[in-house]
Amino acid sequence: MSGVSSRARQWTRPPVLIKSDRLRWSIYAGALIYLVLAISSVDINPARIYEGLERGWRFVQGFLVPDFTSRWSDIQQGFIESLSMTLTATVAGVLISVPIGIGAARNISPTAVYLVCRTIIALSRSLQEIIVAILFVAMFGFGPFAGFLTLSFATIGFLAKLLAEDIEDIDESQTEAIRATGASWTQLINYAVQPQVMPRLIGLSLYRLDINFRESAVIGIVGAGGIGATLNTAIDRYEYDSAGAILILIILIVMAAEYSSGYVRKWVQ
């Protein structure tokens, strides 16, 4: 405790987050014990790591001097699959998300619809993209179609949830005013809700497009098409210069997407 009241006028900094001394020290002790246990359970093989350093250096070299040419047709095919998958999945995902998002907004939807839509959202959010991809590959076979389904499904959980939260946050007086004119439910959505949430919906869709592209580079590892499969092969074959080329292209596309989406968002506002 601080010594404000004591005669000698000592002062120590009062604790910032946790006021109780005992609780604070037991949390510190618990964290320390956990860290010791966790770190000691990591088995580190120095010989293997030393051996790997040389490979790591080769990868850094591959990244600095990438090789775009020798696997270009594979890389091209991978990126075409990834990009087409990303766009179609985002469009499909947004189209499905909008009705679900409206349904999941408490202030404009009946309770039964609300519960169903919230369940769909929770299901989509709790399942990892990779796990969904494994299941879809098992059902639909290898290739970008399974990837398309995976990304669409993942988009629903993300977009519908944020859209629903947005609709719940809208200005109630505007809905009230439109309702007072005797508008039907669809007119209400069109006149009171849509103008308020549209800019953010577009912003979120662009953001999801960006996420979907990054995910499309991953789900290929479990067989759902796209650049991930190409990357996986390149690394398996120890072709680090081709892998470096793929990673550089991914970074560039993500940067371009981020930059242009900022521009579009400003334009929509």
Partner 1 sequence: MPVIVRGNGKTWQKRASARQWSIWFGWLLLAALTVYCWQVMTKDTIWAFVQDAPRQAADLASRMVPPRWSYIDKLLWPLWDTINIATLGTLLGILFAVPVAFMAARNTTPSRTLVRPVALFIIVASRSINSLIWALLLVAVIGPGVLAGILAIGFRSIGFVAKLLYEAIEEIDETQVEAISATGASRAQIIDYAIVPQVLPAFCGISVFRWDINIRESTILGLVGAGGIGLQLQASLNVLAWPQVTLIFLVILATVFVSEWVSAKVRQAII
Partner 2 sequence: MLSVRNLTKTYRTGDEALKGVSFDVEPGQLVGLIGPSGAGKSTLIRCVNRLVEPTGGSIFLGNEELTRLSGSRLRAARRRIGMIFQEYALVERLSVMENVLSGRLGYVSFWRSFTRRFPQADVDKAFSLLERVGLTDHADKRADALSGGQRQRVGIARALEQDPELLLIDEPTASLDPKTSRQIMRLIQDICAERNLPAIINIHDVLLAQAFTRRIIGLQAGEVVFDGPPEELDDAALTRIYGEEDWTTMRTAKPGDEESGEHDEEERMAGLA
217 binds partner 1 (CB under 8 A): yes
56 binds partner 1 (CB under 8 A): yes
Return the residue of 24, 67, 74, 91 that touches partner 1, per CB under 8 A: 91
Q: What's the residue count for the chain?
A: 269
247 binds partner 1 (CB under 8 A): yes
**By the criterion CB under 8 A, which residues form the site for partner 2?**
2, 4, 9-14
107 binds partner 1 (CB under 8 A): no
175 touches 64 (CB < 8 A): no
Question: Counting Cβ atoms within 10 Å, is residue 172 exposed (0-12), middle (13-18) or buried (19+)?
Answer: exposed
Nearer to partner 1, 174 or 194 (CB): 194
Return the residue of 144, 163, 206, 230 that touches partner 1, per CB under 8 A: 144
The residue range among 1-9, 105-113, 168-176, 235-243 that interacts with partner 1, by the rule CB under 8 A, is 235-243
Residues 6 or more apart whose CB falls under 8 angstroms from that of 201 comprise: 94, 98, 163, 166
Nearer to partner 1, 92 or 113 (CB): 92
- Token pair, residue 115, equals 């519960």
- Token pair, residue 179, equals 């309702």
The residue range among 48-56, 65-73, 156-164, 180-188 that interacts with partner 1, by the rule CB under 8 A, is 48-56
Nearer to partner 1, 105 or 148 (CB): 148
The residue range among 22-30, 64-72, 161-169, 244-252 that interacts with partner 1, by the rule CB under 8 A, is 244-252
Q: What does residue 41 show for φ and ψ, rounded to 5 degrees?
A: -85, -5
Residues 6 or more apart whose CB falls under 8 angstroms from that of 71 comprise: 230, 234, 239, 242, 245
Residue 148 beta carbon to partner 1: minimum distance, rounded to whole angstroms: 6
55 binds, among partner 1, partner 2, none (CB under 5 to 8 A by kind): partner 1
The residue range among 68-76, 166-174, 181-189, 231-239 that interacts with partner 1, by the rule CB under 8 A, is 231-239
First to last CA, the chain: 51
Residue 28 beta carbon to partner 2: minimum distance, rounded to whole angstroms: 17
Return the residue of 83, 113, 116, 202 that touches partner 1, per CB under 8 A: 83
Question: Counting Cβ atoms within 10 Å, is residue 221 exposed (0-12), middle (13-18) or buried (19+)?
Answer: middle
What is the rounded distance in angstroms from the CA atom of residue 199 to the CA atom of residue 189?
15
Q: What does residue 225 show for φ and ψ, rounded to 5 degrees?
A: 75, 175
